[in-house]
Amino acid sequence: MSMKKSHFVLAGAALVLAYAAPVSAETIQIKIDKLKFSPEQVTVHVGDTIEWVNADFIAHTATARNKAWDVMLAKGKSATTAMTKAGAIDYYCRFHPNMVGKIIVQDT
């Protein structure tokens, strides 16, 4: 293999890595319907965003037990929360403590 050709191959491999490396952030929807978070448990990555959609006709909250966030969700409204730290977060609704869910945030 000539020097020229091996350089070309290396450049091609570097290009593939450059395209594969960045993981794009995602938005994951958690719906509230009939006093339930759905899905009840999700696994996401640091940098992802949770979109809360309250499909009920009453207000709810999504409140992290570790106090990382407390999202107020009026009836029929939605809101977003960015997941900035790795870890497992249990959350609940302050108005209806039986409503619980869990978000597992993985390092990217």
Least distance CB 52 / Cu ion (angstroms): 11
- SS3 state at 30: strand
Q: Does 60 bind Cu ion (CB under 5 A)?
A: yes
- What is the size of the binding site for Cu ion (CB under 5 A)? 5
Least distance CB 93 / Cu ion (angstroms): 3
Sign of dihedral through CA atoms 14, 48, 43, 76? negative
Residue with tokens 């992802």: 48
Q: Does 42 bind Cu ion (CB under 5 A)?
A: no
Task: With CA atoms as reference, report the closest residue to 50 among 24, 25, 80.
Answer: 80
Residue with tokens 């191959």: 9
Stretch that binds Cu ion, among 22-30, 39-47, 73-81, 85-93 (CB under 5 A): 85-93
What is the binding site for Cu ion (CB under 5 A)? Answer: 60, 93, 95-96, 99
